[in-house]
Amino acid sequence: MGNYSLTLIDSLSTLAILASAPAGDENAGPKSLHDFQDGVAALVRQYGDGRPGRSGQGLRARGFDVDSKVQVFETVIRGVGGLLSAHLFAAGELPITGYNPPRTHEPGLEIPPIQWSNGFKYDGQLLRLALDLSQRLLPAFYTKTGMPYPRVNLRHGIPFYANSPLHETAPGVPGTSGGPPEITETCSAGAGSLVLEFTVLSRLTGDARFEQLAKRAFWAVWYRKSQIGLIGAGVDAENGHWIGAFAVIGAGADSFFEYALKSHILLSGHELPNRTVVNFDTTGDWMDPNVLFNPLSDFENSADSFLEAWHHAHAAIKRHLYNDREHPHYDNVNLYTGSLVSNWVDSLGAYYSGLLTLAGEVDEAIETNLLYTAIWTRYSALPERWSLRDKTVEGGLGWWPLRPEFIESTYHIYRATRDPWYLYVGEMVQRDINRRCRTQCGFSGLQNVLDGEKSDRMESFFLGETAKYMYLLFDDKHPLNNLDAAYVFTTEGHPLIIPKKPREVKARRRQAHFEPAQEEYYDDAFTNSCPAPPLVQPLTGSTTAARDDIYHAARLVDLHLIPSYHTTLYQLDGDGPSDEDDLATSPKRSFFPWTLPEAMVPDDGTCAKIYQPAELTLEFASNTQQVVDGSALNFLVGQQGLSRLDVDRIRVGTLSGLKLTMRLEEESSEEREWRVTKVNGVPLGRDEFAVMNRAILGDVSDSRFNMIRDPVVVKLQHLHRVAVDEPVADDDVEHLEYETDMQSLQAAMKALGAEKNQTGSSRVSELSSLVKSFFSRMASSLELQAPSRATPLPGMAAIPLPFNLVINQTGVTAVGIGAAPLPAIETPPGAHFPDVGAIHKKLLPWATVYAAGQSCSGTLPESAPRDHQIILMRRGGCNFSDKLSTIPAYLPSAKSLQLVIVVSDDVDDDADYLAYATSQSSAGMVRPLLDEAQLTPAGIPRRHPIPMVMVGGGDAAYLQLSAAERIGLTRRYYIESQGMRVRNIIVDEGDSERNL
Ligand code: DMJ
């Protein structure tokens, strides 16, 4: 594939690693060193030595000047990575036992010649060939997005992409005349995981182009992540749009995550790169696609930025893909919503446990790797896809092309834990491969793991990766297993390192506190170091074998139902696996891998309860009467009565025929709540909400679905009349967004008006929506009453009439023995407030406000509670009970005091109802504590205790409330089932999502 001796190139670093094998009987180490050196010599014979002159011409080609259309990603990871890694071994920058050539440390294309025993002089040929191959890939980077096109012709570049600046229609140039247009879809892994190879190439050669291109492509993928932090698997390199909306850890995305963390490791401790392009052009007139873009920032170039990306990528995966039902694994979910899209694991996804190990997430690595171990045990290989639902090969994708990911993770976990369990896993894999895949002249992939049919094809990654990790797993003393340096295995298993000058290393070791070039990122919310290996259990020798969830993985894979033929734990009668008696009586494989000796199995092992969260499905009777058919809700009742409000919200338009599936989530035995996982069969993501209007819930009351009045959170609404009578310049619009109090809004609105005396209701509503939209941007703590349509900036019409502006604020009730019940009168849910004209006092019942400041000393005037329905206070200065005790006794009446509103400085976010709606507590905002019974200023217990709520918003809110024309209060509601809150149903009141 690729037609450029890929298998040899991809195998060189494996030979270099085997070269450190102890001599032993088969002389493996020295023989491998010869094979490595002979392989390098053979390659140079075919492709030249990478220099411009005669020696650059090989038998086959000058460099990789081959008319072959290749995949950019595969060529980088297998070709460029293979050449660079082999160069680092040949040049002595990566260790081979007994091979210690003098090292050079200046970037450049030549190193002092090293004489090999096969007569070949190594002087950097592989590095020059890596540069040649990489330059041939540069045309692919001529995209607007910075993500490379997926394919390139090594000789002709990208003449076949119709929209590319390098498009050509030339006779004889393949792929340019006729035929369907070349596909511009690439995968996130393909676009985003080039950083390791291209960075090492740039640092070794001093040619800055590659590192910058690869990093830019990485960021181009990452910056496209969805609101919930997930990246898709497929993306269009030309326009940057996601193709398909799947987020996975495996095929399509895999090495992107790997390169986030490994780029951090590789770059750590190194200076920022030199970004001046020194063009070491050896073979042609190569351009630099970097010229199309602004330079990357220092942070985007730093090691830390990649760590930050990894942390956030993994956190999003843990939140939305990780599923601990039965046994932990990762789901495939919708990129935007996090809802489940398919129920299989792929063989490629097995790498993730190894990556987690490098990141210090060893527990998660161990548990998720177990599932793959169980699948391997069942099939003696890994099918490409395995269905979690059907517990069998998914969709006929039963091949195993000798992939490395599972053994790669096993290797990394073994290095972190030294648990011999993983050696037995390695032994199982080795025996199975030898039994099923070994052929006379190589190893064959399996076409079908179920029947063992071979595919007559050996992918280069078998020698490059699978065999390499198998070897390193067992060679504890290998120098790479003991190398104290920031080297990484690329996604193709090629070790890479950015060499340091010996002087630099020594100096840094001497420095007590070495400060790397960029230390801008540190977040202790994430894992920043690796845990110590778990203690080995004295009686079993394996903490993994003694885990109480080991059986969970087996059970998820149905291992316990599969007869075990080649177990070492129980001996068969010797007639072989076809023996009918054995079939019937053979023990099942509760323990795995099958190579595990009995001594490793704990005598008195226990099995933890399998985690199967409680699920509840509620089906509501189909009753057409229940459909809310008011015009306001008509548009919401789409197919199945559902409509999407936002990426994280689905509106349920009717209870009629509704089917809700809920899962009980338990943070602890006290913190248990339901989460709706499906609405009418439509899966919801972990952070997705079902929104139900209070009107459709009516008086629903059932222990399995009950609307509960929220005792903590309330909605305060206040009315303002805004008059506008002055013209305004467009510049003021900007200014307006930053105004935070009502007076300045009114002043600005005055300025906003155009000609006087112009009336007309369309103008009125145009401007009123405009103001509402301004207001919502100005003070995000203040919610606006449902503008029902988008609000483009109109040409600032004149509105002589005052119009109604209703502001919504979230408040919290008081708590403690001094807390009094809230007034019974409330603003009806979904109340509609007209844009202009009078507002009925039933909608907003209170009209008189007394602004009392902090009210910490003295006594308020008698008229304050007698003649005002609301007393407004600023938080601070004294406790809440003291504030209330400044209010004189009064005779309760409709005109006297109904409510005390305390305005706190709590900021906007805290007042977001969604924060409350998603939590059982008043997350963020502290409830005012009245820890004493209420007293009058004379110290007498109050006969009619005064209700209190607190809102956020500081001075601006205080000013607004004191200027309010009318004020009302609405209670909030949530849904409970069997006494536990349903976390992701929001009960709203108005007729629009803006009203949440
Ligand atoms: C290899 O080429 C690399 O490991 C790549 O990241 C994924 N595919 C194969 C192995 O399965």
Which of 7, 406, 465 gets mutated to test ligand 1 (max ligand atoms within 8 A of its CB)?
465
CB atoms < 10 A from the CB of 8, how many? 18
Q: Which of 254, 549, 741, 783 is catalytic?
A: 254
- Cα–Cα distance, 496 to 516 (Å, whole number): 20
Q: How far apart are CA 290 and CA 136, in angstroms?
A: 15
What's the rounded Cα separation, in Å, for the pair 709 and 836? 32
pLDDT grade for 900, boundaries at 50, 70 and 90: very high
> Is position 254 annotated as part of the catalytic site?
yes
Is the pLDDT score of 781 beyond 70?
A: no
Q: What is the pLDDT of residues 946-965, one digit of tens each?
A: 999 999 888 888 988 998 99
The pLDDT assigned to 302 comes to 95
Contacts of 945 (CB under 8 A, 6+ apart): 818, 819, 820, 933, 934
Angle at 925 between CA 921 and CA 926, to 5 degrees: 85
> How many whole angstroms from 464 Cα to the centroid of ligand 1?
10
Q: What is the whole-number distance in angstroms between the Cα of residue 459 and the centre of ligand 1?
A: 10
Q: What is the secondary structure of 250-267 as a DSSP string?
A: STTTHHHHHHHHHHHHHH
Q: Enumerate residues 6+ apart whose C-beta is below 8 A from 346.
A: 248, 250, 251, 384, 385, 386
Q: Which residues contact 814 (CB under 8 A, 6 or more apart)?
A: 820, 880, 927, 928, 929, 930, 947, 948, 949, 950
Which amino acid makes up residue 539?
L
Among residues 74, 346, 364, 582, which one is catalytic?
A: 74
Ligand 1 atom nearest the C-alpha of 465 is 4
The structure tokens 């799947």 sit at 246
Among this protein's residues, is 619 annotated catalytic? no
Q: Is the CB of 71 under 6 A from ligand 1?
A: no
Query: Quick one: what percent of the chain has pLDDT higher than 70?
Result: 80
CA of 349 to the centre of ligand 1 (A): 10
Q: Which is higher by pLDDT, 422 or 732?
A: 422
Crossing angle for the helix pair 362-379 and 421-436, to the nearest 10 degrees: 30
Query: Over the stretch 443-480, which tens digit does the pLDDT of each residue have?
Result: 999 999 999 999 999 999 999 999 999 999 999 999 99
Quick: pLDDT tens for 297-354. Answer: 999 999 999 999 999 999 999 999 999 999 999 999 999 999 999 999 999 999 999 9
CB count, 10 Å around CB of 393? 20
Determine which one of 384, 582, 673, 835 is catalytic.
384
Nearest in space to 6 (alpha carbons), one of 175, 158, 129, 184 = 129
pLDDT at 646 over 90: no
Task: Ligand 1 pocket test: pick from 6, 258, 348, 466 the residue with the most ligand atoms within 8 Å of its Cβ.
Answer: 348
State if residue 75 touches ligand 1 by the CB under 6 angstroms criterion. no
- Tokens standing for 491? 């996604």
The residue type at 264: H
Instruction: Kindly report the number of other CB atoms within 10 A of residue 679's CB atom.
Output: 24
Q: Is 461 in the pocket of ligand 1 (CB under 6 A)?
A: yes
Closest atom of ligand 1 to 193 CA is: 6
Residues 663, 735: Cα–Cα separation, whole Å: 48
Mean pLDDT within 231-257: 96
Q: How far apart are CA 893 and CA 896, in angstroms?
A: 5
**Count of helix runs (H) and strand runs (E) in the chain:** 29, 37
User: Do the bridges between strand 495-496 and strand 344-346 make them parallel or antiparallel, or are there none, so unpaired?
Assistant: unpaired
CA dihedral sign, ordered 9, 10, 11, 13: positive
Q: Among the options 10, 132, 367, 405, which is catalytic?
A: 405
- Indicate the top mutation candidate among 196, 459, 491 to test ligand 1's pocket, ranked by most ligand atoms within 8 A of CB: 491
Residue 652 confidence class, pLDDT cut points 50, 70, 90: very high
- The best mutation among 347, 403, 408 to test binding of ligand 1, ranked by most ligand atoms within 8 Å of the C-beta, falls on 403
Q: Look at residues 846, 834, 681 and name the one whose alpha carbon lies nearest to residue 764.
A: 834
Question: Would you call 384 a catalytic residue per the annotation?
Answer: yes
Query: Which pLDDT score, from 0 to 100, does residue 88 have?
Result: 98
Tell me, in angstroms, the distance from the centre of ligand 1 to residue 490's CA: 10
Burial of 367 (0-12, 13-18, 19+ CB in 10 A): buried
CA neighbor of 111 nearest in space, from 37, 21, 193, 205: 205
Residue nearest to atom 1 of ligand 1 (CA): 492
- Amino acid letter at 292? L
CA distance linking residue 699 with residue 209, whole number of Å: 67
| One-letter amino acid for residue 426 of the chain | G
Q: State the closest ligand 1 atom to the C-alpha of 403, by its place in the atom list counted from 1.
A: 11
| Contact assessment for residue 307 and residue 267, using Cβ atoms and an 8 Å cutoff | no
Asked if residue 491 has its Cβ within 6 Å of ligand 1, the reply is: yes
DSSP bridge partners of 618: 660
User: Dihedral through CA 849, CA 852, CA 854, CA 859, nearest 10?
Assistant: -140
What are the backbone dihedrals phi and psi of residue 803, each rounded to the nearest 5 degrees, phi first?
Answer: -120, 165
State the pLDDT at residue 729.
43
Q: Is 492 in the pocket of ligand 1 (CB under 6 A)?
A: yes
pLDDT of residue 769 exceeding 80, the answer is no
Inform me whether the pLDDT recorded for 64 exceeds 60: yes
Q: Is 255 in the pocket of ligand 1 (CB under 6 A)?
A: yes
* Closest by Cα among 252, 256, 251, 232 to 242: 232
Least confident span in 58-62, 588-592, 690-694, 841-845: 588-592
HSE (CB half, 13 Å, CA atoms) of 105?
7
Sign of torsion over alpha carbons 359, 362, 363, 364: positive
Q: Write the residue with the smallest CA distance to atom 2 of ligand 1.
A: 492
Residue from 1, 197, 459, 461 whose mutation best tests the ligand 1 pocket (most atoms within 8 A of CB): 461
- Complete DSSP assignment for 223-288: TT--TTS---SEEETTT--EES-EE-SSTTTHHHHHHHHHHHHHHTTSPPPP-S------SS----
| Alpha carbon of 474 to ligand 1 centroid (Å) | 22
Amino acid at 138: L
Nearest CA to ligand 1 atom 10: 403
125-167 pLDDT, tens digit per residue, is 999 999 999 999 999 999 999 999 999 999 999 999 999 888 8
Contacts of residue 982, defined as CB under 8 A and 6 or more positions apart, other chains included, come to 662, 673, 674, 675, 676, 974, 975, 976
Give the model confidence (pLDDT) of 385-441 as tens digits. 999 999 999 999 999 999 999 999 999 999 999 999 999 999 999 999 999 999 999
Residue 508 pLDDT: 60
Mean pLDDT of the 847-869 span: 96
- CA 264 to chain CA centroid, nearest Å: 17
pLDDT of residue 750: 47
Q: Verify whether ligand 1 is closer than 6 Å to residue 262 (CB atom).
A: no
Instruction: Judge whether 65 and 51 are in contact, CB under 8 Å.
Output: no
DSSP state of 942: P
- Rounded Cα distance between 110 and 123, Å, is 6
Distance between CA atoms of residues 560 and 157, nearest Å = 54
564 CA distance to ligand 1 middle (Å): 31
Q: What is the pLDDT of residue 505?
A: 60
Rounded CA separation 348/325 (Å): 21
**What is the 3-state secondary structure of 746-798?**
HHHHHHHCCCCCCCCHHHHHHHHHHHHHHHHHHCCCCEECCCCCCCCCCCCCC
Known catalytic residue: 665? Answer: no
State whether the beta carbon of 404 lies less than 6 angstroms from ligand 1: yes
Phi and psi angles of residue 264, each rounded to the nearest 5 degrees, phi first = -60, -45
Q: Is 460 in the pocket of ligand 1 (CB under 6 A)?
A: no
**Who contacts 592 (Cβ-Cβ below 8 Å, separation ≥6)?**
373, 374, 377, 554, 559
Contact 64, 154 (CB under 8 A): yes
State the DSSP code for 167.
Answer: -
Alpha helices in 69-152 (DSSP H): 72-74, 81-90, 125-135
In whole angstroms, what is the distance from residue 151 CA to residue 783 CA? 50
Q: How far apart are CA 33 and CA 22, in angstroms?
A: 12
Give the least confident one: 66-70, 118-122, 809-813. Answer: 809-813
Is the pLDDT assigned to residue 280 strictly greater than 60?
no
Residue 601 pLDDT > 90, yes or no? no
Is the Cβ atom of 346 under 6 angstroms away from ligand 1?
A: no
